[in-house]
Homo-oligomer: A and B are copies of this chain.
Amino acid sequence: MSSVPAFKRLPRAVREQQMLDAAVKVFSRRGFHAASMDEIAEDAGISKPMVYAYLGTKEELFVACLHREGTRMMQAIAGAAAPDLPADERLWRGLRAFFGFVGAYRDGWAVLYRQARGEQPFAGELATMRARLVEVVAGMLDHALRAEGREIAAIDLEVVAYALVGATESLADWLADHPDADPEKTATRMMNVAWLGAAQLLHGVTWRPPVD
């Protein structure tokens, strides 16, 4: 009788989580446009006006999903890649955490990237999140380079980091599409792609276009 007071009159915070759960699920299944507020409300076991009262319009609701899932992902990564470890160790742990997250929350990942990528209203939100990732990766590389006594132009650093993040997202998609694939193994593969190249960079090896 005490802690499970049936279904109604739950405190706001709980209700909001239920709604977000439902929203993430429905957005992930149907996509942003095809998802209807009706379905989300029904799935959350609540009436539509409540959804509007608590979480605002459809766009705002989607952004709220984005934030929650993005924060969770960032925390998973940040918690794994302690900043005092050597660069390869940090990269490896970060990737492992990332793919672990994607493997565990495919719905969340789908909302975060599959849906958000295509819809312009969220391009900004997404770009911000991606920028944080790029920054982290670029930071790792820069840190390692400096430790080796090297340096490269900021823009090059950014672009390389951008490419690595893109490759990682791409493998995350691949993982989301192959439910039986092993996240850990996928992380290892990504590490091979990333680190082999990065390690070369660290040692000053670069490729230059041939003179036509």
Contacts and interface: CB of A to CB of B under 8 A. Distances in A.
Number of identical monomers bound together in the oligomeric complex = 4
B159 A119 contact: no
A189 B173 contact: no
A192 B118 contact: no
B189 A171 contact: no
Interface in A1-46: 30-34
Contacts of A96: 209
A116 to B, nearest CB: 8
A76 interface: no
Interface in A159-203: 159-160, 162-171, 173-174, 184, 186-197, 199-201
A114 interface: yes
A195 B207 contact: yes
Q: Would you call the interface of chain A mostly helix, strand, loop, or mixed?
A: helix
A160 B192 contact: yes
Contacts of A208: 188
A193 B190 CA distance: 13
A84 interface: no
